[in-house]
Amino acid sequence: MSHVMIKFSQIGTKLMSRRIALGFIMAMVLIVSGFVISFYSYYQSGKDNREVQHTYNVIRSLETVLSSIKDVETGSRGYVLTGDTTYLAPYHAALRQLPGQMKQLQSLTNDNPVQIQRRLVLQQIVRDKLVVTKLRLGVRPTDKRNAVISAESKRQMDLLRKQVALMVDTEQTLMEVRNRQAERSFRNTPILIFIVSLLTFLTLAILYRLLEQELTRRQKTEDQLRAYEAQLRGQIRQLETSNEELERFAFVASHDLQEPLRKIQSFANLITDRYNNLFDGDSLLFMGKISSSAERMSKLIKDLLNFSRISSQQEVFQAVALGDIVQRILDDQELRIKGLDVQVDVGVLPSVQAVASQMDHLFNNLISNALKFTQPGVRPLLRIQARPVDGHEFADLNPSLRYFEIIVEDNGIGFDEKYIDHIFKVFQRLHGKSAFEGTGIGLAICKRIVMSHHGYITARSRPNEGATFIVILPESQSLQQHDRSTPEVYSYPAG
């Protein structure tokens, strides 16, 4: 139940973390949007103001040109009427200023195609006006042509005023449009900034609420974990007590229980030897069963003792050459191997960090099984090979560690793979004890050894097609694994 709660808590934490992260992203986007809108508003306002100022400059330039033409008209008319050359001072000053003024007007109106056309017309009118004014200065007031020239000068002046008024009116229209646009930008910008600010505030408020909920939930989870920790400590104390009782049981099994069995065996053998001639066939059979049962009981107790010692004894891991272990076992089984004419094929085996005595137990049991469960009439085969594998190739292995897969294969009687979960349990036998000797603890010891080395063990087999035992051991034991008091190892389903 606690595992399920922790699993749901982890899922909830991931979902909440994603929501908080998404909220922060939205808040950052809104804040950046506010900055962008503010900058754009500032830029657009400056642009609108520049355009309005530009319109003012065009109008002022047109008025300046018109004022200079008026000076030309006034000066020339005063001179013609009075003959006083002092009236020509404004005239000459205007003539000097007009080229620069017309050039400035050209520069200001180059951005508007309509005003460019009207400016060209204005320039032509100014030129015509200056030509007429120059002609009038050369004609005496009594000359008959003076009236005609004066009339033409007046007509040019009227055209010039109309053209300037037309251009000024166009600029004023543009100014009104640009002023409305500037006002609209100035009016909309605060609204947009307010909306973005409001959304940012709401997002931050939601984030605050989510963070508050997450902190509350984590506090609740922490309280639950502390409760589980207290419960776990109690279970650990119970387990330590159980281990102490198991160690006491192992001590009793190795001393107190073995002693009566040795006496039963000794006295049974003594009775058989001393009173052999007095016993009939049934009596000798019964005494033989007593001796064999006592011997089998002694083996069971020794195997149980070995089984319990694997998990209770804390031995140091060190570099162990598996090839040397296997070769020593094969040397011990040399007579049996020759007697059965076993074909032995051993490949290159690696060195791993392990407990040498436990590796000896492991491969001794696997090799003994291969030599035990042979098929009649078939030359026995024993093949042992190894290959390196990565942790990510198998579930629940540490992907940062390197592993070795050791295969112990035979061509014996095999077994049905539906019993794969039973063969690694204590006292689980697939064959009667009369058919094959053994206590039914060997493979359970193998699994316990593999568990203590943080590896895997499984098997593949079919009846009468041999059996293949697969052992996966890490090349080195990590510190994290050393700290684990109860390593978790599972047998893979065969397939």
Band (pLDDT 50/70/90 cuts) for residue 11 is: low
At 349 the pLDDT is 93
Same domain, 425 and 304: no
**Spatial CB neighbours of 30, under 8 Å, sequence gap ≥ 6:** 196, 199, 200, 203
In a domain, 352, yes or no: yes
pLDDT reading at 62 higher than 70 = yes
In this predicted model, which residue has the larger pLDDT, 12 or 17? 17
In this predicted model, which residue has the larger pLDDT, 447 or 148? 447
In a domain, 309, yes or no: yes
Packed helices 281-312 and 442-452: angle between N→C axes, nearest 10 degrees:
10
Question: What proportion of the chain, given as a percentage, has pLDDT over 90?
Answer: 9
Same domain, 20 and 111: yes
DSSP sequence for 265-293: HHHHHHHHHHSTTT--HHHHHHHHHHHHH
Q: pLDDT tens digits for 241-256?
A: 777 776 676 666 666 6
Q: Mean pLDDT across the chain, nearest whole number?
A: 78
Same domain, 303 and 354: no
- Strands (DSSP E) contained in 45-192 are none
Most confident by average pLDDT, 275-284, 431-440, 445-454, 473-482 = 445-454
**Number of folded domains in the chain?**
3
Pick the last residue of a domain from 168, 189, 217: 217
What are the tokens at 477?
């034991």
Lowest-confidence range among 186-195, 216-225, 441-450? 186-195
The amino acid at residue 136 is R
Q: How many residues does the chain have?
A: 495
In a domain, 241, yes or no: no
Most confident by average pLDDT, 128-132, 160-164, 354-358, 403-407 = 403-407
At 485 the pLDDT is 42
Q: pLDDT tens digits for 456-467?
A: 888 888 888 888
Q: pLDDT tens digits for 214-224?
A: 788 888 888 88
CATH number at residue 434: 3.30.565.10
Phi then psi for residue 6, to 5 deg, are -65, -40
Cα–Cα dist 41/43, whole Å = 5
Pick the last residue of a domain from 291, 313, 335: 313
Most confident by average pLDDT, 105-114, 234-243, 343-352, 417-426 = 343-352
In this predicted model, which residue has the larger pLDDT, 383 or 393? 383
CATH number at residue 82: 1.20.120.1730
pLDDT reading at 352 higher than 80 = yes
At 13 the pLDDT is 66
pLDDT reading at 372 higher than 70 = yes
Same domain, 74 and 50: yes
Same domain, 364 and 261: no
**Which sign does the torsion angle of CA 63, 68, 73, 78 carry?**
positive
Q: pLDDT tens digits for 105-153?
A: 888 888 888 888 888 888 888 888 888 888 877 766 666 677 777 788 8
pLDDT reading at 342 higher than 60 = yes
pLDDT reading at 311 higher than 90 = no
Same domain, 285 and 321: no
Phi then psi for residue 276, to 5 deg, are -60, -40
At 441 the pLDDT is 74
In this predicted model, which residue has the larger pLDDT, 37 or 411? 411
**Spatial CB neighbours of 454, under 8 Å, sequence gap ≥ 6:** 398, 474, 477, 481, 484, 487, 489
At 437 the pLDDT is 52
Q: How many CA atoms lie within 13 A of 339 on its CB side?
A: 7
Lowest-confidence range among 330-344, 403-417, 425-439? 425-439
In this predicted model, which residue has the larger pLDDT, 330 or 151? 330
Q: How many CA atoms lie within 13 A of 360 on its CB side?
A: 9
Band (pLDDT 50/70/90 cuts) for residue 484 is: very low
Cα–Cα dist 333/363, whole Å = 12
Same domain, 357 and 434: yes
Q: What is the extent of the structural domain holding 302? A: 255-313
Return contacts of 313-319, CB within 8 angstroms, 24+ apart.
315/355, 315/357, 315/358, 316/355, 317/353, 317/354, 317/355, 317/477, 317/482, 318/353, 318/354, 318/355, 318/356, 319/351, 319/352, 319/353
Same domain, 356 and 453: yes
Question: What proportion of the chain, given as a percentage, has pLDDT over 70?
Answer: 82
Region of 357 (left: φ > 0; alpha: ψ -120 to 50; beta: rest) is: alpha
At 404 the pLDDT is 92
In a domain, 240, yes or no: no
In a domain, 450, yes or no: yes
Same domain, 193 and 71: yes
Cβ atoms of residues 454 and 489 within 8 Å:
yes
User: What Cα–Cα distance (Å) separates residue 292 from each residue in 298, 373, 433?
Assistant: 10, 21, 12
Pick the last residue of a domain from 313, 339, 356: 313
Most confident by average pLDDT, 137-146, 287-296, 441-450 = 441-450
In the chain, the largest separation of any two C-alpha atoms, in whole Å, equals 187
Residue among 430, 472, 470, 436 at smallest CA distance from 453: 472
For the chain, helix, strand, coil in percent to 5 are 70, 10, 20
In a domain, 327, yes or no: yes
Same domain, 295 and 382: no
Same domain, 196 and 296: no
At 434 the pLDDT is 45
Same domain, 39 and 186: yes
pTM of the entire predicted model = 0.45
Most confident by average pLDDT, 7-11, 325-329, 354-358, 410-414 = 325-329
In a domain, 375, yes or no: yes
In a domain, 171, yes or no: yes
What are the tokens at 23?
């909220």
